[in-house]
Structure 1
Amino acid sequence: MRIIIFGPPGAGKGTQASLISEEYDIPHLSTGNIFRSAIKNKTELGKEVKAILDAGDLVPDEKVVDLVEEELKNDKYEDGYILDGFPRTVVQAKAFDDLLKKNGETLTAFLQLQVPEQELIERILSRGEGRSDDTRDGVKKRLKVYREETEPVLEYYGEKGAVHKVDGTGSIEDIFNRITTILPDN
């Protein structure tokens, strides 16, 4: 299975991706986790990414695509994966489609977690990740960037008929149960 989990910041992508990874025995590839690790370890990529994220902006497409493509060469992704935080732009989505085609693979599902904006803001402010932009204004800026730069990916995959909308409200278990009704049996 090759799955994309999609939604705005605070929608629960990472939480649900981890559950899907465990249930279906596929690795969870989070660009956010890769970037956070680089920032924590103060690598060149980490320093560059930190400055971009601290400004509330997105990491450039080419850098993200190269990172994901390199990571997917690892044998552990051979039988599938769940992508979290990628693709974030239509350019990234098209590059990912090209990669799938090149490898003779197809996308199993594009899961869109839908959560009202006020709930997203409250979730982000309460989870305490310690990001420098975890303020009400910072979160609103991230949601604005999401709407302008990332939401068009939804339309791109919608035109392909690949989008499965998932109510992202309620308990973690309720949301996960909604997802498992969409995915093929493992």
Structure 2
Amino acid sequence: MRLILLGPPGAGKGTQAQRIVETHGIPQLSTGDMLRAAVKAGTEVGVRAKAVMDAGGLVSDDIVNQIVAERVLDADCAKGFILDGYPRTVPQAKALTDNLKSKNLALDAVIELKVDEDKLLQRIEKRVADTVAAGGAVRADDNPESFRKRLVEYREKTAPLSEYYADEGQLKVLDGMKPIDDVTAAINAILVKS
């Protein structure tokens, strides 16, 4: 089972991905983790990524696409994977489609968690309050101003993926504002059909 979870920051993608990992035994592939692993392993693409990062630059789509293309071939991905933070743009999505096709693979599902942005802001504020109450550390970007900036970036760069995957006939849209267990049940219903 190969899938992508879409939705703005705070929509619950991470929570749902962890549940899918636990239920289906497939890895959650984070772009950041993949980059760090490639750099640490000293692969050809990892060396290229390290040079860009050491120079303070942003790693190009070409490098990220290659890292993902190599990572999905690892043994732990044989039963599938969940992509986390990739693709972020339509060009990356097209590259992913091409990479998978070249390996006779395809995505089984692209699931978008639709949310109300005002309620999402309240959700973020509650998460911060709960984290503080529990004595935990709050993420630096868990504040209303940073969150609004992340939403704008999401709308501009990542939201167009919905249209791309809808045009490809792969997009399934769920109400991400429902209770966590209800969202999990809806995702599982989609995955059973995939």
TM bucket by the smaller chain? Answer: 0.7 to 0.9
* Alignment RMSD (CA, Å): 2.9
Distance 2:19 2:75 in 1: 21
The unaligned stretches of length 5 or more in structure 2 are 39-48, 132-136
Q: Does 1:158 pair with 2:177? A: no
Taking structure 1 as the reference length, the TM-score comes to 0.80
Query: Do the aligned partners of 1:9 and 1:124 also contact (CA within 8 Å) in 2?
Result: no
Q: How far is the alpha carbon of 1:6 from its aligned partner? A: 0.8
**1:114-125 to 2 correspondences below 5 Å:** 114-125=114-125
User: What is the identity, as a one-letter code, of the residue corresponding to 1:11?
Assistant: A
The unaligned stretches of length 5 or more in structure 1 are 39-43, 53-57
Residue 108 to residue 115, structure 1, CA distance change in 2 (3 Å) = same
Q: Describe the SS at the equivalent of 1:83.
A: strand
Residue 33 to residue 169, structure 1, CA distance change in 2 (3 Å) = farther
Larger Rg: 2
Q: Report how many aligned residue pairs link the two structures.
A: 175
Residue 139 to residue 37, structure 1, CA distance change in 2 (3 Å) = farther
User: What is the identity, as a one-letter code, of the residue corresponding to 2:156?
Assistant: E
Distance 2:142 2:192 in 1: 36
Query: Do the aligned partners of 2:34 and 2:68 also contact (CA within 8 Å) in 1?
Result: no
Taking structure 2 as the reference length, the TM-score comes to 0.77
User: What is the identity, as a one-letter code, of the residue corresponding to 2:87?
Assistant: P
User: What is the identity, as a one-letter code, of the residue corresponding to 1:21?
Assistant: V
Distance 1:33 1:124 in 2: 24
